[in-house]
């Protein structure tokens, strides 16, 4: 009888927890969806973080920052990216890795011509190379074509 009582209590607690967690998860999803566009984003702080990250000694941080700058421009085109462009130009001049320099050049081209280059970033992509390839291909088609 004691064993049945313990099983009943355990089952009751498990059902209550699952119901609670499910309700919380559903309400958080709804809150997240509705608040993404309503919350105020501190764009100045984000742009300052980009500038600081571009000065890092770690290749992965610089490369990830360049990717994030491009994605940020895609979703916040109205921001002033002039200081970011200046920092990207420093990366091009001072970084010894040709891959990072090339990505910085592509990012600058995208920042300057985003209205003519439509990109489609994939959320939480492990491989960021696709985005730089996409920018390169679009630049080739849109900006480097010579009209005779």
What does the pLDDT look like over 46-79, one tens digit per residue?
Answer: 899 999 999 999 999 999 999 999 989 988 888 8
How far is C-alpha 115 from the geometric centre of its chain's CA atoms? 19
The predicted model scores a pTM of 0.66
Residue ranges for the chain with pLDDT beneath 50: 10, 12-36, 38, 148
């Amino acid at each position: 009888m004691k064993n049945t009582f313990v099983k009943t209590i355990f089952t009751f607690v498990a059902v209550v927890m699952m119901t609670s967690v499910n309700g919380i998860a559903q309400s958080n999803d709804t809150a997240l969806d509705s608040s993404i566009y309503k919350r105020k984003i501190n764009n100045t702080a984000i742009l300052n973080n980009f500038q600081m990250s571009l000065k890092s000694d770690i290749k992965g941080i610089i490369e990830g920052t360049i990717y994030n700058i491009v994605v940020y421009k895609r979703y916040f085109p109205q921001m002033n990216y002039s200081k970011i462009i200046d920092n990207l130009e420093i990366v091009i001049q001072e970084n010894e890795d040709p891959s990072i320099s090339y990505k910085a050049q592509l990012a600058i081209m995208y920042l300057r011509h985003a209205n003519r280059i439509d990109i489609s970033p994939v959320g939480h992509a492990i491989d960021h190379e696709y985005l730089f390839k996409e920018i390169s291909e679009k630049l080739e088609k849109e900006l480097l074509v010579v009209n005779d």
